[in-house]
Structure 1
């Protein structure tokens, strides 16, 4: 005899199949226009392995964050009844499931056979001539009485053709009182199933089992504001790790062919295209779309030919009436009506790898060398560019943070009778960036607040003063960059630019001799170091498909504010 939970699963699957006549059995690539999908979800996080130790409050937070990211406007949603969730949890626990592969196998063994049995139930409905909406509703109500699941729950998922299950497989916590830090590493995923109906019958497909990671860190004793409330350091570290995990899972869901936004071009012009999508589908400024055509091969199969890429510039309000959004051409051109636009999802974060040549000069304060020596530092730079278009509605508007590390020598410079060797330079900064683009070419303007630090070390050559010594100074200033970029592909840009750096000259040196800090407060003739002047950079920029951490949130956690 079947348990009530198994019968419940059976009936939910039955409700799914009743309304799957319009679900395509073919790949999304053959579908010209995106059709809204109705999704049923398990309103719980299934915890495997050491994730089973997750506290209830953390589980609620994780589920809230995942649903906020995954439940995009392109979908309609219905939660599976708690009876279904509880029955499946019990089965997974009985099996001792420890990873996503085993869980997928369990879902196939528990859910799929029940769904496939629906064919026989459908025959029963046809035999009873239950063709009217009222008759079908009466049938559902009767089945609800038998199983204890409400008719509302059954009817709520009548139109669903997909099911997703959030899973957490690993939680690593490093909580250190010594360093006053707490770190969370989360690993989890989502299992997607689709019920397909075509001429061959009904079948269940495992769409994909996505896994992703999310990392978060914070000071243990800090307090943070999060969505109108205050949270402590460990809470903030967990929340940020959950948000990163959920955002990566969202991008993975958008890549699933069944869920990828697609539409034929409704209109075209010089440097722009329009398609019938907008706010109703959750379209955003700067979303990328590949333009493609499909050709039929000799064997009847369809082959996709990608022609280029566009970036959304204006989002139409199509919630209540039809309207077209406009996108500007980035790669390719000469597009025609009827060509297909396919979503190319990416995180709103670009990563830049830069090589920079930075100015530096020093003025003598004591007479050890000529009045002024100028030179350059050579640095490697890592930039994170956060696209603000979704919140500001301004295309290609970024908040950027960067870090740089390099070295250089000011030839002929002496300090207290010692030749100054090559030193270590490092810097950090952040600011705003606006890019303007015409097809493949992008013009970028960057305004940033920058911090620079320079130090050099050596060993005394004097017979008496022969210990190790170190000099260090730093300054705060502004950096203004003008860049030009070329789009090499959908996700990679090659750029070069010129910068002007405006820093306050500094004589504020720190000096250590034999590991002891020496008081320089009474010395007024120290050299003046200046990081101002013209610089140059070349770089590659990558639009990220995923990232295991959020640099700004990590920095905020480290600062403790």
Structure 2
């Protein structure tokens, strides 16, 4: 059989379903384990993007690039990939034109109305802006502008009404887009799931496909442990029962705008993309019907800007291409991260080994785990147990008085109309007390005992108790060493063998907000330019109070060095008291010097359980601004009250320096995404700290430089000890 033939593709894509049908009757009662285990999933992508009317103008090459970027981000080692047979997808797209036509027409009409409304709003904004100027001119001339004010009020009211209409239209647009995505699932059921089921019904191909699947499993390095009658293992059947997922792409808005900066004259291009993906799961009902069940829809908007006339020195791309690729990159990264959070796709397994802060588990490169990846540890704790004699009535979905009494004896009184339903015959049942809003799961374990657990509110899963978390510090290549373990370092302890570990997907970026304080010195000295100047009468020592924001990006997955971060951040603060500084010609001492800095560097942490110690060498650019101002009369009387307007006349002096700033600190992990800490840093100047510049801004005018180049002035001593207290938060999404 040719590998590219239709039959081959049908066999490969439907193999999971074949196994289910072929060996369903061979399966015995499934074993119940203390921890769930992630099973590899088989996923497929449609080859094109569904474009709504507002996205139809995306150029073909850009549409292809967007699709490829999304696929690149979604192609994770935890998945196996199969192509949708060409004939099936061809049928989908050929029927889509008719199937989606009415919804597309509605979307096109709504889009047209939105465009018309936007034009009307823009026209009103121009009229309002024109009236603003006219009212100002009339009032400056001392005349009555009430007629224009009344007209402006009328236009403002019309604008508010149109904005309300636009909001309503946007809501209608989103509603129709949801209808379209629902129709996509319906059409996939008809053209893909249905056709697969027809193929599965052919008994002549059943054995052939099962055997073909085994060979495909071998080629994809699946573990085959026990042979069954059809050549398919029970373990493989358990895997494929969770396989067969399909991803559909959609784009609801594509916008490229080109503007020009009024001051510089430089052009700026902005790309905006709205859309997302829908994950479908192929489901086979007991009666043999196959359909595409919507697993999750992700919608988002991403945008990026650039100068189309400049080339990036790093990528070598022009600004236009760079802006588009930046927007698509953000688009893909968001979808990849959110996909990893889905319960069907999130990595999970049982703890195999615990020794001190060292935890071992059977995941590795095959699943794509990486250094510093975080995992949470959970424990499944039963409320109480009941005898196996209750199994028969549970299978009959009968909630007896004896069972109710068992709950009551364990402190859980249930309503008389409580019900029981089968989740998995002979192994798992759900008890529902809808009157009290209480739900429980009864599960049989490997020793045939029946245990009662509290159920999660959101889904039919046992409620787990969080016991701690760890980060990965050793990744094993389990494509070769299948019996070896990967290891992590526990930060919050509580893990024991058999407990559940679940991946904690996140951006890898920590955002910290800090309050920092230290002492700065301003040396005696002066600056002078015509009538404007600054004088520091004597050496000043002042306290610096600053608010800091820092981003730390975990690069452990790239360097294979645990807890290594790239750091960028900055401070804004004030010096107080700063007495003894005179800004001429104002002759006032009420000024508050403003401090700013930005920095970047590396950070290395070492965890001792919850406590982390770290070193952080930084290169820092620091700036100090000292200024003063006073109000002065102008020649304008905008209120028409006979009094001249007053505007500020201001002068400021600025010094900046480059420095090396080593920082050390310690922090305490409160949970997997929040730390609190304290840090101390110092400042070692790399260049001079006594070079100043100056600016003067006249009332209502533009800032003017006071010096042609930097001049020597008072020397600054930046903080030798800068102490900060902070909270750090791991960002959950891009």
For Structure 1 versus Structure 2, the TM-score category normalised by the shorter chain is: 0.7 to 0.9
> 1:411 maps to which residue?
578
Structure 2 vs 1, CA of residues 370 and 262 (structure 1 numbering), >3 Å: closer, same or farther?
same
Does residue 266 of structure 1 match 2:352?
yes
> 1:518 maps to which residue?
706
> 1:428 maps to which residue?
598
1:52 deviates by 2.0
> 1:111 maps to which residue?
188
Does residue 186 of structure 1 match 2:186?
no
1:260 deviates by 1.0
> 1:476 maps to which residue?
658
Structure 2 vs 1, CA of residues 186 and 355 (structure 1 numbering), >3 Å: closer, same or farther?
farther
Rounded to whole Å, the distance in 1 between the matches of 2:72 and 2:540 is 57
1:91 deviates by 4.3
> 1:308 maps to which residue?
468
74-83 or 336-345: which moved more?
Answer: 74-83
User: Contact (CA 8 Å) 2:651, 2:695: kept in 1 or not?
Assistant: yes
> 1:140 maps to which residue?
none
> 1:165 maps to which residue?
248
Structure 2 vs 1, CA of residues 373 and 266 (structure 1 numbering), >3 Å: closer, same or farther?
same
Structure 2: gaps spanning 5 or more residues:
1-8, 108-173, 214-239, 384-439, 444-461, 527-533, 634-647
Structure 2 vs 1, CA of residues 531 and 454 (structure 1 numbering), >3 Å: closer, same or farther?
same
Match 1:342 to one of 484, 502, 508 = 502
> 1:558 maps to which residue?
none
Structure 2 vs 1, CA of residues 120 and 361 (structure 1 numbering), >3 Å: closer, same or farther?
closer
Does residue 34 of structure 1 match 2:17?
no
TM-score between the two structures when normalised by the length of structure 1? 0.81
Structure 2 vs 1, CA of residues 221 and 377 (structure 1 numbering), >3 Å: closer, same or farther?
farther
**Structure 2 matches for 1:333-482, cutoff 5 A?**
333=494, 335-366=495-526, 371-415=538-582, 416=584, 417-419=587-589, 421-459=591-629, 467-482=649-664
Structure 2 vs 1, CA of residues 92 and 484 (structure 1 numbering), >3 Å: closer, same or farther?
farther
Rounded to whole Å, the distance in 2 between the matches of 1:194 and 1:395 is 36
Does residue 57 of structure 1 match 2:61?
yes
Structure 2 vs 1, CA of residues 134 and 430 (structure 1 numbering), >3 Å: closer, same or farther?
closer
Does residue 237 of structure 1 match 2:323?
yes
Rounded to whole Å, the distance in 1 between the matches of 2:630 and 2:476 is 70
Rounded to whole Å, the distance in 2 between the matches of 1:75 and 1:210 is 19
User: Contact (CA 8 Å) 1:14, 1:118: kept in 2 or not?
Assistant: no
Does residue 324 of structure 1 match 2:485?
yes
DSSP-derived class of the 1:356 partner: strand
> 1:256 maps to which residue?
342
DSSP-derived class of the 1:355 partner: strand
1:308 deviates by 1.2
> 1:497 maps to which residue?
679
DSSP-derived class of the 2:317 partner: strand
Greater fraction of residues in helix: 2
Rounded to whole Å, the distance in 1 between the matches of 2:89 and 2:247 is 12
Rounded to whole Å, the distance in 2 between the matches of 1:319 and 1:299 is 36
CA deviation profile, 1:283-321 (whole Å, cap 9, x unmatched): 110111111122456641633222111110111111223
DSSP-derived class of the 1:220 partner: coil
Rounded to whole Å, the distance in 1 between the matches of 2:13 and 2:670 is 47
**Structure 2 matches for 1:180-219, cutoff 5 A?**
180-197=267-284, 203-219=291-307
Structure 2 vs 1, CA of residues 120 and 56 (structure 1 numbering), >3 Å: closer, same or farther?
closer
Structure 2 vs 1, CA of residues 541 and 170 (structure 1 numbering), >3 Å: closer, same or farther?
farther
> 2:47 maps to which residue?
43
User: Contact (CA 8 Å) 2:516, 2:546: kept in 1 or not?
Assistant: yes
Structure 2 vs 1, CA of residues 117 and 405 (structure 1 numbering), >3 Å: closer, same or farther?
same
User: Contact (CA 8 Å) 2:656, 2:689: kept in 1 or not?
Assistant: no
Greater fraction of residues in strand: 1
1:419 deviates by 2.2
CA deviation profile, 1:383-413 (whole Å, cap 9, x unmatched): 2211111110011111111133232334223
User: Contact (CA 8 Å) 2:13, 2:85: kept in 1 or not?
Assistant: no
Structure 1: gaps spanning 5 or more residues:
1-8, 138-156, 548-561
CA deviation profile, 1:79-130 (whole Å, cap 9, x unmatched): 224444454345444424456523321123212245665697378424x584
Rounded to whole Å, the distance in 2 between the matches of 1:135 and 1:348 is 43
Larger Rg: 2
12-21 or 527-536: which moved more?
Answer: 12-21
Structure 2 vs 1, CA of residues 132 and 230 (structure 1 numbering), >3 Å: closer, same or farther?
same
Structure 2 vs 1, CA of residues 424 and 81 (structure 1 numbering), >3 Å: closer, same or farther?
farther
1:207 deviates by 0.9
243-252 or 173-182: which moved more?
Answer: 173-182
Rounded to whole Å, the distance in 1 between the matches of 2:33 and 2:339 is 16
